[in-house]
Each structure stands twice: as structure tokens, then as C-alpha cells.
Amino acid sequence: MKSNLQEFYEKFPNQTHILNNGKSFTYRYYKNSNSKATLLLLTGGIGLSDLLFSHFDKFSKEYSVLVFDYQIHLSTIKELIDSISELLRFLNEKVWLVGQSLGGIISQIFAKQYPDQVEGMIISNSCSLPKDMKPESYECLSKMLKAQQSFKTILKFIPFSIVRILIKNSIKKMSKDCYTEEEKSIFKDFYELTDKQLKKEFENHMIDLLINTEQYMDMVPNDFKKWDDKVLLILSEDDETFNESCKKELVSIMSNPTVETKLTGGHLALVVKCEEYIKVVSGYINKRI
């Protein structure tokens, strides 16, 4: 019997575009001929797009959808966003950026650099990188970056099997007692997929990308005026990854954003409450196309 993921792979197979620099860019893309919008799904710090396979499948019923891993040979944020822009030109697409956590940060960096390729943004449980960042926000982000740098050092000396256990324990902590059995099962599937696909070399790559975001702490409100009333911020009340100062600065830097706080599930609310997340995002976009 085929798994849901195997069926997804057959329905939406990987495609590859050769960039102008000769490097390959692997992606999944579905062109919905009846759609009035294209969604680019940008995953969080784990960097594996298969974690959003259910979202891709559900969104594809109404929209064109694009997704990809943060591929290891695209080693910096600049190289990544330049490659995304080239891919969008190849596909002749202008997109709604739908970013989770790190994906939300990449969405902002991309929108600032390539505004003509962006229709709007859906950013969930993320932060911004303002030029005049408040001390409370900077302390939160600085602590995260230092933790990533320390983790990269630790990775040199410990087996990756131990890292998998740490990730599993971290996901277990997110799976709270108040969640239903179905929601806990989603967390289990999330871990198992990560456990199968995440490798030490790729984890190092993702740490480098996270650290590289520090080079983009120069954002100002004017960077995002183009998307007045075209930004939805999903900031779950029970997400403690980014502090309140970070969340407020993300809201402040956008022009007339809609803020949704009731989608529970912590940092991974879009995974835990997939159906609700799809409904909120679709409802927002459909009113603006």
C-alpha cells in the first residue's frame, strides 16, 4: 500500500532547472489552469520542503503551487534568493510568498530584493530584521544565532544519531498534552519525515543559512509599502520561539497587515492545524485577487 508521501511524489514529481551559473535547482511545481494566484511555500529552518507536502496538495486544488528544499549548493541567502528569482522568471510566475519561521524571513528578504515578482506575503511565526531593532528583539535573535553557532561546533564532535534524538525530544516538547491524538500523530509524522531525510551535511548548511540572515538586519517600513493590505501575519499566541518584541516589530514594519493570533499549535501551528491554516490563508488571498 502506498503512503501519502509516495502518492504525493507521483502526483507532483520533482523537476530540475539549470541556472545561468550552471547549478541545478530542484523543485516541485503544479500549474493550476483555473487559479488566479501562485503560492510559493517556503519552509522553516529544517529546510525540507516535504514537511509541507500536505499543504502543497491541499493548496493545489485552488492555486498553482511551488516548493523546494533549501538546496545545499545554494550556500548563502543571496545565492538562494537570486536562484528563486531566476526560477520564477523561467516559470513566468509572480507569487504569494508563504513563509514559515526562517521561510518568513527569506520571504521578506526576497520581497525587498525582487518586489516585482511578489503579489503579497503570508508569514507565520517568524520575525523581521529591522534596521533599528529594539534591544529586546536583538537579544532574542542574537541568542538564537549564538545557539546555532554553538550547535555547529558540537556537530563536529557528536554522531548525528544523537542530533536526531535531540530533534525528536524537541518535537515531543511541542506536542502538548492538550492536543488531540490526531494532532499528536501529526507531530509523530513530522519527526519521522525529518528523521529519514535530515543529514549532517544538510543540517550544517541550514545553520549557515540561519546565521547568514544576520547580514540582512537593515529592513525599514518603506521596503514593504508596496504590499499595503497584502500581508497576513499568523503569530500564534502559544508560540514562544520569538518573543513579543520580535512579533511587534514584524507587525510594525508591514503596511496595514492582517494579524491572526488564534491559530494554536505553537511554532508549528501550520502543521498541527493544517486544515485551519489552509482555510485562513486561502480566505485572505481570495479576498485580494
Spatial neighbors of 259 by CB under 8 A, at least 6 apart, are 233, 235, 251
pLDDT band at 270 (very low <50, low <70, confident <90, very high): confident
pLDDT digits (tens, 9 = 90+) for 228-248: 999 999 999 999 999 999 999
- On whether the 4-135+206-286 domain is CATH 3.40.50.1820, my answer is yes
- 135, with CB counted inside 10 A (0-12, 13-18, 19+), is exposed
pLDDT (tens digit, 9 = 90+) per residue, 193-234? 777 787 889 999 999 999 999 999 999 999 999 999 999 999
Position 29 scores a pLDDT of: 98
With a cut of 50, say whether residue 12 has pLDDT above it. yes
pLDDT at residue 5 greater than cutoff 90? no
The Cβ of residue 199 has, within 10 Å, a number of other Cβ atoms equal to 11
pLDDT for 269 equals: 85
**Residue 230: CA count within 13 A, CB half-sphere:** 18
Place of cell 500536505: 54
Burial code of 31-44, b = ≥16 C-beta within 10 A, e = fewer?
ebeebebbbbbbbb
Domain ranges of the chain: 4-135+206-286
From the list 89, 108, 92, the residue with the least C-alpha distance to 220 is 108
* Average pLDDT for 252-263: 96
- Looking at the predicted structure, is the pLDDT value of residue 190 above 90? no
Q: Which range has the worst mean pLDDT, 7-11, 30-34, 186-190?
A: 186-190
Does 186 score more than 70 pLDDT?
Answer: no
Name the pLDDT band for 1 (thresholds 50, 70, 90). Answer: very low
Q: Is the pLDDT of residue 155 over 60?
A: yes
* Amino acid occupying residue 225: K
48 vs 79: CA distance, rounded Å: 18
CA angle 224, 229, 233 (to 5 degrees): 75
Residue of 85, 88, 94, 108 whose CA lies nearest to 233: 108
Q: What is the mean pLDDT of the chain?
A: 91
- Residue 94 has a pLDDT of 98
Measured torsion, CA atoms of residues 45, 47, 48, 54, in degrees rounded to the nearest 10: 50
| pLDDT, position 119 | 98
Mean pLDDT value of segment 246-258: 98
Condensed to tens digits (0 to 9), the pLDDT of residues 90-130 reads: 999 999 999 999 999 999 999 999 999 999 999 999 999 99
The grid cell for 213 is 540572515
Three-state DSSP at 104 gives helix
